[in-house]
Structure 1
Amino acid sequence: MTNLSTRQDFLRFHNGERAPLQFAPAEYDDRLAGLRAIMDKAGIDACVLTSMHSVSYYAGFLYCAFGRPYALVVTPTEHVTISAGIDAGQPWRRTHGDNITYTDWGRDNYWKAIRSITGEGCVIGLEGDHLTLTRTDELEAALKPAKKVDVAPACMTQRMLKSPAEIALIREGARIADVGGYAIKDAIKVGTREIDVAMAGRDAMELEIAKSFPDAEYRDTWVWFQSGLNTDGAHNPVTSRKLEHGDILSLNTFPMISGYYTALERTLFVGEVDDASLKIWEANIAAHELGISLLKAGSTCAQVTAGVNAFFEERDLLQYRSFGYGHSFGVLSHYYGREAGLELREDIDTELQVGHVISMEPMLTIPHGAPGAGGYREHDILVITEDGNENITGYPYGPAFNVIR
C-alpha cells in the first residue's frame, strides 16, 4: 500500500481488508462478460463508465461524487474503479476488481489515472447520457481517442434483464418497503405532521435493512409521505403540515439496499373518504389491477399503456393521468440511474421479457377545488415470468385497509 500523503498524481491505496459485496464475485464476472461482449461487437478497446449506476452494476462500488468525477475503466483484461483521494481505501474495499485513487496534488489527475489503463488513441466506450460537455472535452484532450462509442443504450438493455441474484435482492427490498408502509400506517393520526409519519417509516426500514443485510453500507433510504394538496405530485417533498380528518394521503416508501431501489406507494385517507374521492380511488385501483393483468412477456410497454389509457378514457378520467404507468427496477435511485427503455409510456416499444422487473403505478391527479381533489396512486412491483408475472408487493391497497380510523 502506498502512502496517500506522498505527492503522486494517482496511486493504489488498498487499505485494510476487502468488504463482502452484495453479490458473489461470479455475478459481477457475468456482468463484465456481458459488457465485454458489447465492446467486442462494437470494436471498443476500453470503456470509461462514469455514472453511479454503471460503476455500481459492474463493480459493486456506489460512489459519492460530491463534485468529483469517478469512473470504472474496463478493457478486455482489466476492470478498475477510479476514485478520489477523499475516499481513501473504501472504494477498493467495495470494488470487485482493482482500484486506483487519484489525488488533488495536480490538475487532471483523474484523467491521468484513466490514461494509465487505456493509453491514448484507443476506441473508447462512454456513456453519452452522463458525460457533460466539459468532461467530454477533457476526455478528448487526455485520451485522444481514435473514436468514441456511446455504450449507454446497450448497458441499459443489459441491466434491464435481472439475474436470479438481483431478483432475490429486489424481492427483499419489496418486503422491506412493506415494513415501512405498516410503520407509516401505525403513525397516522389527526394532528401528526407529515415529517413525523415519514420518519417512522424510514426508521423502520433502515432497522430492517441493517438486520437483514448486516454486511451492507447504509444510505439513501427515504420516505415521501404527503397529505391533502401535497399529494398532487408523485415526488413532492415531505412538509410539516398536520394531518386533518378526511385528508387524502400518499404513502411512498423507498428502501435502498446497495444501490438497489424498491418502492411501495399507496393512497390512504384519514378517518373517512367522501363519495367523490371514493369513486376516483376505486377507478384508479381498477386501472391498477387491469395494468397488472397486462404485464406479460411479449407485450410491449406501449401496448400496456394503451390498455390502461383506454380504461381511463372510457370513464372520462384520462385527462387526470399525470405520468407513465410504471418503470424498471434495479440499480437506480431518485438522483442517479434510470432504465428509460423499460417504462410504461406511449413512446416505448420495448417488449417485456422473462426477467424484467417493472412497476404498475397508475396515478390520477384531481385539481384542487374539484370533487375528489388530490393525487391517487397505487404501486406494486412485478417480476415478469413465463406465465405472466409475480407480484412481490404485499402491503394491501384500497379503502378496506387504508382508511385510517
Structure 2
Amino acid sequence: MSESTRLEITAAEHAGRRARLAQRLQDEGLDAICVFGPVRVAYLTGFHFAATERPVGVVLSDTGEVTTLLPALEETHFAQQCPDLPAPLTYPEYPGGGTGRHPLSVLADHLRARFPAARRIAADHDGYENRWGYRGPALSALLGQPVHPGLELIDDLRMVKSAAEIELIREACRWGDHAHRVMQNSIAPGANELLVSHGASLQATRDMLAALGERYVPKSREGLPANAMFISGANTAHPHGLHQSVGVMAGDVLVTGAYGTVGGYESELERTMHVGDPTPEFERYFAAMLGAQNAGLAALRPGRTCAQVEADVRAFIEDQLGMTALVRHHTGHAFGLEGHEHPFLDLDDHTPVEPGMIFSIEPGLYVPGLAGFRHSDTVLVTETGSELLSVYPRELADLIIPA
C-alpha cells in the first residue's frame, strides 16, 4: 500500500507548513517559536499523541530548523510517526523523575544554547498548558526575557484548508452522515439516548473500518472514528444539554449530532427531529430555523467578513421571524483538527472569508420549556460561494421518527 492511499496528511505537507511558518517568523523579525498546543504540534509535525501532564513542544527557527521536546516514553512513538524529523530532545519524566530538573528547564537550556543571541522568541503559550495536574514555570521566566505571543502565527495558517485537508474532511462527512443514518434508523419510542447513541456510533465505526480498511489511520487513543448522539424533549432547549437516562416518547423533539474523524480531521452534522406527527407549533419553529440556516448558507462567500455573515443571519431572524429573543449563540465556527477553530461567524469577528475555509452553519432557536431547533452542516467556502460537504437531508419530512 503506497503512502498516497493512506487517509492522512503527508510528511511533505507538514514540511510545507513548517516552511510557511518559518517565513512568517522572518517577516515578523522573530528568531524562533515554541509550540506547546498538542493540535498545533500535530499540525506542524504529524506527531499525534495523548496529551498528559508531560510537556511536549516543538521549537521552529526562522530558518526552518525543528527541535521536538518529548518525555522519553514518547521517543519511539515519535520516531514511528515522524521518521523525517531529527531525533527529539528528551527528558526522563515529569516533574523530574529524580533528576531535580523540571522538563521545561531542559527546553530553556536548549533555547539558550541554540539561540544565544536571540532577541525575540515567540510561543503559542508562555509555557506548557496546564492539564492533568501539570504545574510549571513560565517559559519567559526561565529565559529571563519576554516571550512574544505567537498563537496567531500558526492558527492563521490553519484557517484555509489545503486540498488534502478538504478531502479528509469530505471523507469524514461521509461517515458522519452514515453514523447519523444508523442512529436515526435505531430511534423508536422507549429508546434510551445513551444506548442508541453509543450503539449507532459503534456500528457506524464497524462499517467505516470495513470500507476503508488499512487506508484508515487512527490519530487518537480515544473516541471512535464515527460518532452520533442525540438529546430529547425540553432538554434540547439547552444548546449543550447533557444526556438524560430516559426513554424517547412520542411528541419529543430530538436534537442530534454526528461526525466522522479521518486523518485527525473532523466533520459536523446536527439535525432537529420529531418523534411522531409534529404539531403546528413545532412546524413553525422548524421552518424558522431552516430559514435562518438557509440565510447563513447564502451569506457565506468570499469577499465578505465573518461578521457580515452573522449580521445577515441576525437580520433574517429579527426582520423576517421576529425571534431574536430565541437566539443563544452565533451562527457558526471554523473547524478541522479541532471541533471549534478560529475564525467564528460572530458579529465581533471581522476575519475575511476566503476560499478553502470550512465552517459550520448552525443558527439555533431555543424555546424555553419546549425545545431547541438547530441544524448544523459542514460547509466549504468556494471561489464563488459555498458547498455543503455534509449532505444529510434537512427537510422535516425526512426527519420524523415513526411513533
TM-score after normalising by structure 2 = 0.87
Q: Distance in 1 between matches of 2:7 and 2:41?
A: 13
2:341 corresponds to 1:339: yes
Equivalence for 2:142? 142
2:333 corresponds to 1:327: yes
Q: Distance in 2 between matches of 1:68 and 1:241?
A: 40
Equivalence for 1:262? 267
Q: Distance in 1 between matches of 2:106 and 2:208?
A: 35
The amino acid across from 1:339 in the alignment is: E
2:380 corresponds to 1:383: yes
1:363-378 equivalent positions in 2, closer than 5 A: 363-368=364-369, 373-378=370-375
SS of corresponding position for 2:201: helix
SS of corresponding position for 1:303: helix
Percent of residue pairs bearing the same amino acid type: 27
1:26 deviates by: 1.5
| Matched pairs, number | 376
Change (3 A) 1:307 1:166: same
Q: Distance in 2 between matches of 1:22 and 1:39?
A: 27
Q: Any conservation in 2 of the 1:224–1:238 contact (CA below 8 Å)?
A: no
Which residue, out of 4, 8, 11, partners 1:25?
11
Q: Distance in 2 between matches of 1:279 and 1:236?
A: 22
Equivalence for 1:220? 223
1:195-210 equivalent positions in 2, closer than 5 A: 195-210=194-209
Q: Distance in 2 between matches of 1:25 and 1:285?
A: 41
SS of corresponding position for 1:64: coil
Equivalence for 1:245? 250
Q: Any conservation in 1 of the 2:333–2:344 contact (CA below 8 Å)?
A: yes
Q: Distance in 2 between matches of 1:117 and 1:169?
A: 36
2:92 corresponds to 1:103: yes
Q: Distance in 1 between matches of 2:365 and 2:190?
A: 26
Equivalence for 2:60? 74
**Please, which moves more after superposition, 37-46 or 78-87?**
78-87
SS of corresponding position for 1:264: coil
Equivalence for 1:35? 21
1:192 deviates by: 0.7
SS of corresponding position for 1:111: helix
1:27 deviates by: 0.6
1:109 deviates by: 4.5
Which residue, out of 100, 115, 118, partners 2:111?
118
Change (3 A) 1:139 1:357: same
SS of corresponding position for 2:293: helix
1:381 deviates by: 1.2
Change (3 A) 1:100 1:388: same
Q: Distance in 1 between matches of 2:124 and 2:232?
A: 39
Equivalence for 2:81? 94
| Structure 1, unpaired ranges of 5+ | 1-19
SS of corresponding position for 1:241: coil
Equivalence for 1:85? 72
SS of corresponding position for 1:330: coil
Q: Distance in 1 between matches of 2:325 and 2:46?
A: 42
Q: Distance in 1 between matches of 2:24 and 2:207?
A: 38
Q: Distance in 1 between matches of 2:204 and 2:126?
A: 32
Change (3 A) 1:256 1:233: farther
Deviations 1:328-347 (A, max 9, x none): 121114xxxx433x211110
1:136 deviates by: 7.8
Q: Distance in 1 between matches of 2:12 and 2:297?
A: 33
Q: Distance in 2 between matches of 1:66 and 1:45?
A: 28
1:41-52 equivalent positions in 2, closer than 5 A: 41-52=27-38
User: Pairwise CA RMSD of aligned residues?
Assistant: 2.3
Change (3 A) 1:21 1:275: closer
SS of corresponding position for 1:119: helix
Q: Any conservation in 1 of the 2:55–2:128 contact (CA below 8 Å)?
A: no
**Please, which moves more after superposition, 157-166 or 231-240?**
231-240
Q: Distance in 1 between matches of 2:375 and 2:7?
A: 33
Equivalence for 1:235? 240
Q: Distance in 1 between matches of 2:38 and 2:31?
A: 22
Change (3 A) 1:154 1:233: farther
SS of corresponding position for 1:395: coil
SS of corresponding position for 2:271: strand
Change (3 A) 1:77 1:348: closer
Q: Any conservation in 1 of the 2:127–2:137 contact (CA below 8 Å)?
A: no
TM-score after normalising by structure 1 = 0.86
Equivalence for 1:15? none
**Please, which moves more after superposition, 177-186 or 123-132?**
123-132
SS of corresponding position for 1:331: coil
The amino acid across from 1:220 in the alignment is: G
Q: Distance in 1 between matches of 2:365 and 2:56?
A: 39
